[in-house]
Amino acid sequence: MGNYFWIFVSAAVINNFTLSYFLGLCPFFGVSKKIDTAFRLGLANIFVMLITSVCAWLLNTFVLPYAPYLRLITFIVVIASAVQFVEMAIKKLSPALFKALGLFLPLITTNCAILALALFQTNRGYSFLEGIFFALGAGLGLTLALVLMAGVREESEMSTVPDVLQGAALSFLIAGILSMAFMGFAGLFSGAA
């Protein structure tokens, strides 16, 4: 059980997908202007990640040992299908959310965080359950980064910012500081390891 917890915490906080591994930057810099939207996008990502993790595990166990060169293609097709599925589900369950997320839903397909999840899970040889905890941790970490960024940007919209810093430059500097803050988590639980 300790191992699962470690995988979860590591992916969510210590090796945060966005702030430590530079994954999922497009939504990070694009959508994160409102905390609400950021949170909901994060949830959609978690869902896609869970589906991806399970499918990747199934592929790795039953199909890919016979054709390892097909790994990348099968993973990306699975991700594209999972996103399509989640898109349809959201459209049916909450049309308002569907409208709010707009173009960012299909863009989850090109979110490198999802593909990276599948690849890391493969490289580290995670079992089925380990993969689930990994996906949950990574998804939560991604959501956390999105929400934090959105929160800071909401604040900064109300303050005066020198015009050369406006827009992208400021976002990157904020991200740098957030990333530094998260470095503080490094070594968490390491005494026990």
Partner 1 sequence: MSSVKRAGPVRLIVTLGVAGLVSGLILVTAYLATQPIILRNQAKALEAAIYRVVPGSTTRKEFIVRDGKLVPGSNNPAGGQSENVVYGAYDSSGKLLGYAIPGEGPGFQDTISLIYGYDPHDKKIIGLEILESRETPGLGDKITKDPKFHENFDSLSVEPKVVAVKHGTKTAPNEVDSISGATISSKAVVSIIQKENARFLSVLNSAQGSEGTPQ
Partner 2 sequence: MTDRQKLAQETTKGFWRENPIFVQMLGLCPALAVTNSAINGVAMGVAVMFVLIGSSLLVSALRNVIPKQIRITTFIIIIATFVTVADFTLQAMAPTVHKELGAFIALIVVNCIILGRQEAFASRNTVFNAVGDAVGMSVGFTIALLILGSIREILGSGSLFGVALFGTSFEPWVIMILPPGGFLAMGVLLMIFAQVKKNRQRKASAQLKEEAA
- By CB neighbour count within 10 A (0-12 exposed, 13-18 middle, 19+ buried), where does 190 fall? exposed
* 173 forms part of the interface with partner 2 (CB under 8 A): yes
Triad 56, 135, 129: Cα angle to 5°:
70
Residue 94 or 165 with smaller CB distance to partner 2: 165
User: How far is residue 59's CA from residue 53's CA, in Å, rounded to a whole number?
Assistant: 10
4 to each of 1, 7, 152, how far by Cα in Å?
5, 5, 31
User: How far is residue 9's CA from residue 103's CA, in Å, rounded to a whole number?
Assistant: 31
The pattern of x and - marking residues 121 through 150 that bind partner 2 according to CB under 8 A reads --x---------------------------
The pattern of x and - marking residues 117 through 156 that bind partner 1 according to CB under 8 A reads -------x--------------------------------
Which among 85-93, 105-113, 128-136, 183-191 is the span making contact with partner 1, rule CB under 8 A?
Answer: 183-191
Footprint of partner 1 on this chain (CB under 8 A)? 15, 68-70, 73, 124, 186-187, 190, 193
